[in-house]
Structure 1
């Protein structure tokens, strides 16, 4: 198996899910005692959050040296453990080795959505992701129609996401998302474009099919790592 590099800690609860899921894939592939070959570079995420919405160049300045340290460890591919930071990946693309692919979370999500026959998707994520246009624009460029929640919905989603990032899932989070998704029944599916949101949703009872970019990104990275 090739080695997957993970810039994580962004935030740490979802990084645990990346680690868990990739190791589960390795066990399914190789047997119960096996683990995935991973390099985890844990980042202090608070300074990044302080820059979102006010100082995007500051995000780039913070992220570039963290990624440089990870690439210096020579992973075979990279999985960025954060939806929002993929915008930074695109803007820093010319700084990294061209022979080390970065498995792009938005592109994998768009590919799977189209493969499943979805035309219109509801974009859920941090307030920054829902409002800055990057994620929606990249999905639309792939051929999807993207709906964005209303302002009051975006604020509530951000409140829930912030709590999960701090290690606490609000008791009413799942019920809120059930209600939210039922109000957007014109969509074919919802994109959980924040790696914390799967902790607040239930695919089995969701009014809409859910696209979890975290698992889709990991599936693609693992397929690359085992030459599938």
Structure 2
């Protein structure tokens, strides 16, 4: 079994879900009382937020993730899973610095969307995910389109993540508003939705969504276990 290197802490809420689901899937797949080989590098979210939000210092934020990636490599990880969607924007910068690969969350999501014959996916997450290029670029390489929420929708989604979800607060009113956003985006041409913040699936499950929905957390965990158990 390969060792999974996990960069967590962004937030601890989703990191705990990653640890839980990776081990649940490992036991279901490998049988018995199997559990995953995981080495966790937990980033101090406050330091990260201070760099990204307070100072707007993307280079400093990237350096924090690069340091974590190097630590995981030194700890013997075979590949790296980042338990946060928007941090994947740093992957192209960090990959040349280390000798082990990242398992990219957008790629596993694109593969799942394509397997269902869908092709125009609404991306819901923090602003750096919704407005960034890493989801559109990865999806385009898979012959898929992404759809960006409008400004009011982006503000609601981003604020709900920062003010509620990362604090482990999940409210029925917020869940209802997410459904409204998805329905509106469906009327504007989206045929599916990516729950592209690792806390969103803790608020609303794919089965509750008005469009075919993909939990990036669940897909990432499934792919991590598949890679860890692959003998090649």
TM-score of the pair, normalised by structure 1: 0.93
Asked if the contact 1:122/1:190 (under 8 Å) is kept, the reply is yes
Q: Which residue of 2 aligns with 1:170?
A: 171
The offset of 1:86, in angstroms, is 1.0
* Aligned residue in 2 for 1:128: 128
What is the CA–CA distance in structure 1 between the aligned matches of 2:41 and 2:141, rounded to whole Å? 31
1:212 paired residue among 208, 212, 215:
215
Using the TM superposition, give the Cα deviation of residue 135 of structure 1 relative to its aligned residue in structure 2, in angstroms: 2.3
What is the CA-CA distance between 1:126 and the residue it aligns to?
0.3
Q: Cα 1:134–1:101, aligned 2, differ >3 Å: closer, same or farther?
A: closer
Matches within 5 A, 1:145-184: 145-162=145-162, 163-184=164-185
After TM superposition, the structure 1 = structure 2 runs for residues 1-228 of structure 1, keeping only pairs within 5 Å, are 1-52=1-52, 54-97=56-99, 100-162=100-162, 163-185=164-186, 186-227=189-230
- How many angstroms apart in 2 are the aligned matches of 1:205 and 1:169? 15
Count residues with an aligned counterpart.
226
Cα deviations by residue, 1:179-216 (Å, 9 ceiling, x for unpaired): 11111222121011110111121322311011111221
Question: How far 1:32 moved relative to its partner?
Answer: 5.0
Structure 1 stretches of at least 4 aligned residues deviating more than 6 Å after TM superposition: none
When the two chains are superposed, the root-mean-square deviation of aligned CA atoms in Å is 1.6
8 Å contact from structure 1 (residues 18, 214) kept in 2:
yes
Higher normalized helix content (fraction of residues) = 2
SS at match of 1:183: helix
Question: What is the CA distance between 1:101 and its match in structure 2?
Answer: 2.5
For the residues of structure 1 that align with 2:208 and 2:220, how far apart are their CA atoms? 23
Verify the 8 A CA contact 1:177 1:200 in the aligned structure 2.
Answer: no
1:41–1:70: 8 Å Cα contact kept in structure 2?
yes
Q: Extract unaligned runs of 5+ from structure 1.
A: none
The normalised TM-score by structure 2 is 0.91
Q: Which structure 2 residue ranges, 5 or more long, are not aligned?
A: none
Q: Deviations over 1:160-185 (max 9, x none)?
A: 11111122123312111111111122
| Residues 207 and 213, structure 2, Cα contact 8 Å, conserved in 1 | no
Distance 1:91 1:69, change over 3 A: same
